[in-house]
Structure 1
Amino acid sequence: MASAIVSWVWRERFWFPDNVTWADLESGVDYPQAGHLLYALPLALVLFILRLLFERLVAKPCANILHIQTGERRRAQPNPLLEKVFKSKTSPDHSHLEQLATELKWEVRRVQRWFRLRRDQNRPTTETKFCESMWRFTFYGGIFVYTVYYMWDSPWMWNTRHCWTNYPFQPMIQGQYIHYFAEFAFYWSLMFSQFIDIKRKDFLIMFIHHFATLLLITFSYGNNMLRAGALVMCVHDASDIFLEAAKLANYAKYQRLCDILFVLFTLVFFITRLIIFPFWVIHSVLIESWEIVGPYQAWWLLNSLLLVLQVLHIYWFYLITRIAVKSIFKGRVSKDDRSDIESSSEDEEINSNCNKKSV
């Protein structure tokens, strides 16, 4: 049964154009092998541990230097009945509150206050958010610089038609291998940590985004679309750097710097994800590859996933525009429309990780 499933998933007619087989890519030339991606799973665990060490040994000392407080909050007094209700419903309606107040012989306002304090206990502190953003900023900045460095002399960075020259028989260079495995491991680590990180309103959307990213990395690596895949990841990383930098400035209460970085983020996001990505990268994968290679089964799936990402980009840019409009009228970047769940502050910090990217 297992062998039949494996054979179905890795059938050649799905992954490659006609007359290309797996054996053709095992000829001694350094071509990508789909099985190599399994090595990224333990690397994802290493990245997750590295993140914990980075936040503890680097990010927290930086937060202390910038006088970012841990923000200790008042804790709700222990109450088994209210705690049981809280696990199923964090914000009961008024009738439910009255019922609980009657059972406990409390005033309704006291029950309301208990739920407010209990929700606040689950909200991450500014220090926690600062550490998370600093880790992401460090990764995005480092991988973007590395990607531009190794691709700078590559003809396919400047002329996307080279992405399909002699495809799929394009030997893999070391820079592509390192880039792909770093991104693949990072997104697997995000999939792990998403369930313990700051929980946001768009949890499901980000889960879909991470899942689509991992699928795209897997497919593009498995059928040797490394050139186009590297371009996609590079385009996405560019704006994430400015987003995380803006959040860091906001948490440190450098509001003017935050506003400047947010404007830069908005411009870079628009240029990279709404212009370069659809009209340069997707155009290459959709049109140029059709002209040079021709469509095949995996080709349709890859283009579908890229179009899904583009839809998400449009949605995120809508949210970013709302924030930008508010900042114009209020004089500063205000509440993020993707802010933390149960946030009670009307002037919440920027907590969006609009990122993302994917291959």
Structure 2
Amino acid sequence: MALLVSAWIWKEQFWFPENVTWADLEHPAPGVTYPQAGHLLYALPLAVGVFILRLLFERLVAKPCANILHIQTGVRRQVQPNALLEKFYLSKTSPDHRHLEQLSKQLGWDLRRVQRWFRIRRDQDRPTIETKFCESMWRFTFYSLIFIYSVFYMWHSPWVWNTRHCWYNYPFQPMIQSQYNHYIAELAFYWSLMFSQFIDIKRKDFLIMFIHHLATILLITFSYSNNMLRAGALVMCVHDASDVFLEAAKLANYAKYQRLCDALFVLFALVFFITRLVIFPFWIIHSVLFESWEIMGPYRAWWLLNSLLLVLQVLHIYWFYLITCIAVKSIFKGKVSKDDRSDVESSSEEEINSNCSKKSM
């Protein structure tokens, strides 16, 4: 049964244009390397290593930086222990008015006291500024390094400046070591994000982010398996560019450098618009949709890969809407507004989180 499922998943008629087989890529000419689907299995243990590296980075690098910038964990008020309210809180952190009235009658408390208990209890579970700072510093470091690396090795590649080269002689395009390093690092990182999303800061767009990470992993996996490395590398590079500025703006915000935060946020919004709403759809998706059709014609996996790219583009439009909302608020308030993604209620109106988008890939 497993063999039948595997044969169906890796059916050559699905993955490649007509008259191309897996054997053609498994036995390249001497000195030539093609991607092999089995190579991607290395990303799973590497994802565990990336997660461990993140924990070490946050403890040994990010926390000392937070201390230098005087970012404190803060002392929070503790709720009065109450077994009934705690049991209800574990099932529903934000009860509606009807439940609040029922709890008020059971305990003999006035309604405002019950509301205050839940507000303080939610605040206890809210991650500290130091925790958010460490998370953002880790992401900023990864996105910066991987973006610099990708630009460095792709700069002199002809397919960067003329995307038609992504499809000439496809899929018989030799893979270089830098492409493999780029792919395996990105895949391991996004696998680690998939795992850590369940223990990281909870936000309103948890499901959206889950879909984003899943679509990204599928895109990386599929594009590597059928040797669509050139277009895939362009997609990853374009997405990483804006994430660098997003995380930098968040770091400035947590350190209370408001003017720097606002400037970085504006820069992030501009880079996001240029890379994800201009370059990505009109340069990369246009090449995958139209230039590849013209040069080699469509095939089954071609439809799937383009569908995933379009899913990402829809997410980009949604996130740019959030960015625009925050930008409009900042015009009237003079600073970047509260995080529209945060699902944790803050007890302080002074706390501002500029994380309006991720993702990215």
User: Is the 1:338–1:351 Cα contact (8 Å) retained in structure 2?
Assistant: no
**1:35 matched to 2:6:** no
User: Is the 2:104–2:110 Cα contact (8 Å) retained in structure 1?
Assistant: yes
Equivalent residue, structure 2, for 1:137 = 140
Residue by residue, what CA displacement relative to the aligned partner does 1:86-133 show, whole Å, maximum 9, x if unpaired?
A: 112112223322221222222222221211111001100000000000
- Partner AA of 1:131 in structure 2: C
- Partner AA of 2:137 in structure 1: M
Aligned-residue offset at 1:157: 0.8
Aligned-residue offset at 1:77: 2.2
Q: TM-score, normalised by structure 2?
A: 0.97
Aligned-residue offset at 1:340: 3.6
- Within-5 A mapping of 1:145-184: 145-184=148-187
User: Is the 1:16–1:296 Cα contact (8 Å) retained in structure 2?
Assistant: yes
* CA distance 1:169–1:152, change in 2 (3 Å): same
Aligned-residue offset at 1:351: 4.9
- Within-5 A mapping of 1:307-322: 307-322=310-325
Distance in 1 (alpha carbons) for counterparts of 2:207 and 2:342 = 14
User: Is the 1:133–1:247 Cα contact (8 Å) retained in structure 2?
Assistant: yes
User: Is the 2:122–2:344 Cα contact (8 Å) retained in structure 1?
Assistant: no
Aligned-residue offset at 1:140: 0.2
User: Is the 1:13–1:297 Cα contact (8 Å) retained in structure 2?
Assistant: yes
* CA distance 1:279–1:312, change in 2 (3 Å): same
Aligned-residue offset at 1:344: 4.6
User: Is the 1:334–1:347 Cα contact (8 Å) retained in structure 2?
Assistant: no
Distance in 2 (alpha carbons) for counterparts of 1:220 and 1:349 = 38
Aligned-residue offset at 1:33: 0.4
Equivalent residue, structure 1, for 2:283 = 280
Aligned-residue offset at 1:331: 1.1
Unmatched segments (≥5 aa) in structure 2:
none
Equivalent residue, structure 1, for 2:22 = 22
Counterpart pick for 1:194 among 182, 194, 197: 197
Distance in 2 (alpha carbons) for counterparts of 1:264 and 1:121 = 34
- Partner AA of 2:23 in structure 1: A
SS in structure 2 of the partner of residue 41 of structure 1: helix
User: Is the 2:50–2:188 Cα contact (8 Å) retained in structure 1?
Assistant: yes
Equivalent residue, structure 2, for 1:203 = 206
Equivalent residue, structure 1, for 2:10 = 10
Distance in 1 (alpha carbons) for counterparts of 2:33 and 2:123 = 54
* CA distance 1:180–1:8, change in 2 (3 Å): same
Distance in 2 (alpha carbons) for counterparts of 1:349 and 1:165 = 49
**1:354 matched to 2:357:** yes
Q: TM-score, normalised by structure 1?
A: 0.97
* CA distance 1:23–1:353, change in 2 (3 Å): farther
Corresponding residue pairs, total: 358
SS in structure 2 of the partner of residue 140 of structure 1: helix
Counterpart pick for 2:74 among 63, 71, 74: 71
Aligned-residue offset at 1:80: 1.3
Q: CA RMSD in A?
A: 1.2
Unmatched segments (≥5 aa) in structure 1:
none
Distance in 2 (alpha carbons) for counterparts of 1:49 and 1:57 = 12
Distance in 2 (alpha carbons) for counterparts of 1:24 and 1:58 = 47
Residue by residue, what CA displacement relative to the aligned partner does 1:219-241 show, whole Å, maximum 9, x if unpaired?
A: 00000000000000000000000
Distance in 1 (alpha carbons) for counterparts of 2:352 and 2:247 = 12
Equivalent residue, structure 1, for 2:223 = 220
